[in-house]
Chain A
Amino acid sequence: MTLLTDAEASKYWNERHQQETDLRSGGDISFDEATNYMFYLRRLTMLMDRVGLQNNPVAPLYLLDAGCGKGYFSRELAKFGHQVDGIDGSEAAIAHCRELGGGPRYHRTTLSGWRTPWLYDVVFTVDVLFHILDDAEWERSTRNLASLVRLGGKLIVGDWGEDGDHVYGNYQVVRGRDRYLPLLDACGMRFDGWEPYRFRRSPIGLYTFTRIG
């Protein structure tokens, strides 16, 4: 099966965000809205474990939700008192996020193209990198996200935990440990572990890396 081009993939996401319900549009399209709600909550608690259970209004944590879709994780994490930037390539998704408000600041940009004078305590990208089908763009995106993590900060990546790549349909290429670990090690990131979502039969989970150099 031939994979979508970058332009086709971004058109696909923009239309999906316009047509689909809130959670199905950025979640798992094979599940209904209620199941997606469970799926989102499961991943939110996994993010909480990694971001930590402390907050402070005077000196908050700064988070980047890379590929935020309709902004569920951005909004929920902002409710905990964190300052969240959400970025996504889809105009429709960003418009939806801005309409809902709730604290985060949203920017329409690709993962590889996001530039800011500020580093983040945590950069997370939930189920986005395996939608970047072009290897070079995937690598540029991963490197760019790592560069935005401050010393001691975390990079959290949703992808599968095996070695090797695997293609699902025409719009998903999951990449495994043998891709992420060497690339991010070279970026000064320590691999802390991978934990599966343990949601139905999802092969995906969260990689956690800490910047140590």
Chain B
Amino acid sequence: MLIHELLPLVGDAQSVVEVSQSGDALRELLRAPAASAYRAYVPDGEKMDAGTVVVAFLGPKPEAHIDAETVAPALRELPVGGRALLLLGWPVPELPYHRLLDELVTAGLQVLQVVPLDKVSRHGAHCAVLAARVDRLAPLRTHLSDAPLDLAGEAPDLRALLRLTGEYVFGDLLSRPLRRNLAAAGDRIKEQDERIRALEKEIAARDATIAKAESRLARARNDLADLRASTTFRIGNTVVQGARRPTRGIVSVPVGLVRIWRKRGTPGERPGPQS
């Protein structure tokens, strides 16, 4: 449902009393009709009557929302027939309604409908509570009903109340395993997140070890190349070759040594990466 569909749902509001002090913001969101007088709530101010609708925006952000205690005095001033339209700024699956429900019941209001709202990102209201001050039970309403409130309609009879309490008890029973499963799923997700973080750390540590080993290897290769290119190594090598093949060595060792002597001081050819 759209936020501006809410006031028509409450029925004909002769006066709208805003508790949240939003300036014009809430009035504009609700598109309060010009015909209805819109005023800010003043404790024990102008008397409310059956044509009054108390509106407020409750939620988790103190800078934008009020809380249940703040709206309570206005609710208590509503006479029988007076109504409340309360926008709630919590996501529906996380709705902490217990406090508000306390205040509504204390003020003698019946919760008639809780309406999930569209376009939450635009206004931040996830749902709206429609409630009325009653001296007997008002007709029950269905989820997503968009018929205007009718407080004068037939009150639910004993059979409806038996049904209501029965549905509540069974619903409550069934919601318990769901709630447990949900919590267990949350735990599993948390566990998996932790495991993922631990694995990421492990991978980072291994990457660091590999990087260190690679730089050690590169250094060793450079050292080896430098060693191979050094005059001492090459003289030693020529002598070793001569010692291995004494017949050829008589000629080749002196020739090799002369070549090395001549080239001394010029850097040796570096081995390639695969050498």
Contact = CB atoms under 8 A, between A and B. Distances in A.
Do A and B share a complex? yes
Interface string B219-252: 0000000000000000000000000000000000
A59 B92 contact: yes
A83 to B, nearest CB: 12
A5 B67 CA distance: 64
Given A52-B146, A121-B142, A152-B142, A59 B167 contact: no
A61 B116 CA distance: 12
Among the interface residues A117, A118, A152, which one has the most CB atoms of the partner chain B within 10 A? Answer: A152
Contacts of A108: none
Contacts of B160: 151, 188, 212-213
A53 B1 CA distance: 10
B144 A152 contact: no
A56 B92 CA distance: 11
Contact of B116 (A53, A59, A211): A59
Given A121-B142, A121-B143, A188-B159, A58 B92 contact: yes
Contacts of B174: 117-118
B144 A52 contact: yes
Interface in A139-168: 150-153
A55 B144 contact: yes
B145 interface: yes
Nearest to A150: B167
Among the interface residues A53, A121, A151, A153, which one has the most CB atoms of the partner chain B within 10 A? Answer: A151
Interface string A105-138: 0000000000001110100000000000000000
A151 B140 contact: yes
Interface in A27-57: 52-56
Contacts of B141: 152
Given A56-B116, A58-B116, A119-B167, A213 B142 contact: no
B142 A56 contact: no
Contacts, number: 54
Describe B's contact surface by its main secondary structure.
Answer: loop
Describe A's contact surface by its main secondary structure.
Answer: loop
Contacts of A211: 163
B157 A213 contact: yes
B163 A188 contact: yes
Interface in A66-83: none
B162 interface: yes
B119 to A, nearest CB: 12
Given A54-B1, A58-B92, A59-B116, A153 B142 contact: yes
Contacts of A117: 174
A59 B93 CA distance: 9
B159 A152 contact: no
Nearest to A59: B116
B269 to A, nearest CB: 69
A150 B164 CA distance: 9
Contacts of B142: 121, 152-153
Contacts of A56: 1, 116, 118, 144
Contact of B159 (A54, A118, A153, A213): A213
The 10 A-B residue pairs whose C-beta atoms are closest, nearest first, are A213-B159, A54-B144, A152-B142, A213-B160, A56-B116, A59-B116, A151-B163, A58-B92, A117-B174, A213-B163
Interface of A: 52-56, 58-59, 61, 117-119, 121, 150-153, 188, 211-213
Interface of B: 1, 91-93, 116, 118, 126, 140-146, 156-160, 162-164, 167, 174
11 contacts: A55-B144, A56-B1, A56-B116, A56-B144, A59-B92, A117-B174, A151-B160, A153-B142, A188-B159, A212-B156, A213-B163
Given A58-B116, A59-B143, 16 more contacts: A52-B146, A53-B146, A54-B1, A58-B93, A58-B126, A59-B116, A61-B143, A121-B143, A150-B167, A152-B140, A188-B159, A212-B156, A212-B160, A213-B157, A213-B159, A213-B160
